[in-house]
Structure formats: C-alpha cells, structure tokens
Amino acid sequence: MPKFSLTLLWALYLLVVVVESSLEESQGIVLIAGNSTILSQNNSFELGFFSSNGGFDWYLGMWYAALPIRTYVWVANREKSVKNLTSAKVRLTGQLQIIDSNGNRIWQTENTERATQMKFLDTGNLVLLSEKKETVWESFHFPTDTWLPAKGV
C-alpha cells in the first residue's frame, strides 16, 4: 500500500476519534438507562427510575435496596415526570440530567462548577465531584420528606 494511502487512512482515523470524543463529551456519560439501577458503595441504597402510579409517570429516586417494600428517600424530578421509561436516561454532562425519549431535559442539577464524576455514598448521599475531586453538588442539600441518619439537620 502506498505511503500516501496509509497517511490518509491514519488522518481519517484520527478525525473519527476526535469527532466521537467531542460528541461523547457534549452528550455526556449515560449513568442509568431505562430500568437499570445503580447501587451505593455498600449496596444499602439503590438509584433508578420508579413509578408510583402503575407506569404512567417515572421519577428518578433513591430507596433502601434491602427492604422488600421500597421506601423512597429522595426524588430528583419531583415537579416533572418522565413518560416513557424505556428511553429515559440519566447522564452526566457537567451536571446530572434526566433526559426523556425526545432528548428533552426533564431535570438537572444546578451546580455552577462542572462535575466530572458522580459518587453514590453509603449514607444515601448522591454527590457530584469536580475535576479536582471537590463536591459541587449533593442530594443531601435537596431533601425530601425522609430523614436519613447521616444527613444531619
């Protein structure tokens, strides 16, 4: 194969990698899709979508993982539900976002500093961290009607 062809192929490959990387960065990292869930570090809490009305409205929430009857301890999108679970996503794009089937943002965190990592702690606190590993947002600052022992007053 001529040297020119190899150089051209290599340049095209690099172009594809750069385009894919920037596309991934703009769309964020999908953390939860559909009915998948995430467990806290010690498996005490679970984070995922739930419905309280038979599947018409879906909310991103947190509950005790080991209890047979779900006890919800935190809900993100209290004001606006997701209508189609199969295409709902939670993604990290600098903020934590809930996206519906049409790509519309249903809810997002209000952190001003860009988050690069999410941690789901044993305390039930969902934390977003900056590139410097500093907390930029946490669910404990947005409580619902359930008090968790580690949350404080």
What pLDDT does 145 receive? Answer: 56
Domain residue extents for the chain: 28-151
What does the pLDDT look like over 98-143, one tens digit per residue? 999 999 999 999 999 999 999 999 999 999 999 999 999 999 988 7
CA 139 to chain centre: 12
What pLDDT does 10 receive? Answer: 41
CATH topology of domain 28-151: Agglutinin, subunit A (2.90.10)
Q: How much is the pTM?
A: 0.78
